[in-house]
Structure 1
């Protein structure tokens, strides 16, 4: 598992029916891995499946349902004998001013973006512990490191995902199981159909939007190498580090550059 070869690797990917999850699944198959696509929409999964060459599998899954998560993991393990890598990619965002956001806004986003990761890790870890090896890749966001206006619910869920990832990495040291985080900035995907239905934010940050292929390739790279964490794109990642180091000095700059929703 320390090798960068993906040949024959069984990779379970949640949120694989569109966007970077779907693209990552296709790239993994091209590189010899066996992607197992999981998401809620059967129709979208089938569309993605039709475009993938090479062995792969499809399982309808809602990460909010613990029983469904456990059953899906059981079925995948029964079919292939193992799960080498879990990519927790399922998630969504909604950009709403805090005063206008009902409690359900926070609860539902946390249920998918954070608890979905927890449920999938709970289901997969016993298999990996038994095997003495494995890899979990949690797709979080730069929003998990820096907050912006109208993203209190989304940023909180991604902060939770990163905190969980970093803690679990320490807990699993020496077990042969690796934990990674992929933290992309804004990506030009269907994510914005729900997060920004009027298109205001997307128009305002158009020049900063990342191509989904770049983020998908970063996920595949982390799957292949086991790198603990990657932030992208480079410029946004560097800016985020500056904000973390000098929060008071950079607060005004963040407001001018990033509060575009």
Structure 2
């Protein structure tokens, strides 16, 4: 039980399904009020109704496409008088394809969604947190931001960017009692892979490394309000990513077969 969340307000992007939706349910179960955003208003409406009925908290939603900066600014304007205690930047997508053949329009949408939209929303939410000297920003990154692998050049680049942004931001807001946490999961069994891996083979190939969204959400919710730098999942991938920092050539050599499972 995370008592910090009682009567707090949590804003979650990409909340219409997958990890975002699970995070919404779990913070509501802890007594937090939720503000949910995504592109699909139909799914958001259903989820907010469910949350209010099941947990008796206030739950609202806004249509927000993370590639549409005007829309992000519009939603932020509507929330100008709301004290957001926790911002969870969860929206994101990826495509597993070789760098040479990846459509550049797709690369741009990936950066807009995973990086630039995240940065713009954070920039708009942050001033009130700074004024109150309280808040927690949680950015859902990826183990792909620790180790780049074949067929994930653009996606890995976006997640490396999220980690770099988060690391700098953490130092900037440290004296204002605002926490910045990155959550770096490996593959999660969600509909993310419906887009990322059209073949459907990747999750089968990585087997025991696949995470359940319920477990990732639980670990994320548990650290809300706490000064936690990172959550790295699963344990095996975290160990490999740490080793990669000190001996990248060795890990790339021995990890060739594992890296090529996409």
Q: TM-score normalized by structure 1? A: 0.94
**What is the number of residues matched between the two proteins?**
257
Q: Match of 2:35?
A: 36
C-alpha separation in 2, matches of 1:222 and 1:115: 25
**Contact 1:15-1:90 within 8 A present in 2 as well:** yes
Q: Match of 1:89?
A: 90
Deviations 1:108-150 (A, max 9, x none): 1111101111011111011111212111110000000001110
Instruction: After TM superposition, give the deviation of residue 212 of structure 1 in Å.
Output: 0.9
Q: Match of 1:59?
A: 62
**Contact 1:94-1:151 within 8 A present in 2 as well:** yes
**Contact 2:142-2:183 within 8 A present in 1 as well:** yes
C-alpha separation in 2, matches of 1:69 and 1:105: 20
Structure 1 consecutive aligned stretches of length 4 or more whose deviation exceeds 3 Å: none
**Contact 2:28-2:34 within 8 A present in 1 as well:** yes
Q: Match of 1:188?
A: 189
Equivalence map 1:111-260=2 (5 Å): 111-260=112-261
Deviations 1:191-221 (A, max 9, x none): 0000011112122113321111111112212
Q: TM-score normalized by structure 2? A: 0.93
Equivalence map 1:59-78=2 (5 Å): 59-78=62-81
**Contact 1:98-1:152 within 8 A present in 2 as well:** yes
Secondary structure class of the residue paired with 1:121: helix
Note the residue ranges of structure 2 that are not aligned, 5 or more in a row.
Answer: none
Secondary structure class of the residue paired with 1:136: strand
C-alpha separation in 2, matches of 1:63 and 1:130: 25
C-alpha separation in 2, matches of 1:201 and 1:33: 35
Secondary structure class of the residue paired with 1:96: coil
Does 160-169 or 50-59 show the bigger shift?
50-59
Instruction: After TM superposition, give the deviation of residue 4 of structure 1 in Å.
Output: 5.1
Does 23-32 or 213-222 show the bigger shift?
213-222
Does 187-196 or 199-208 show the bigger shift?
199-208
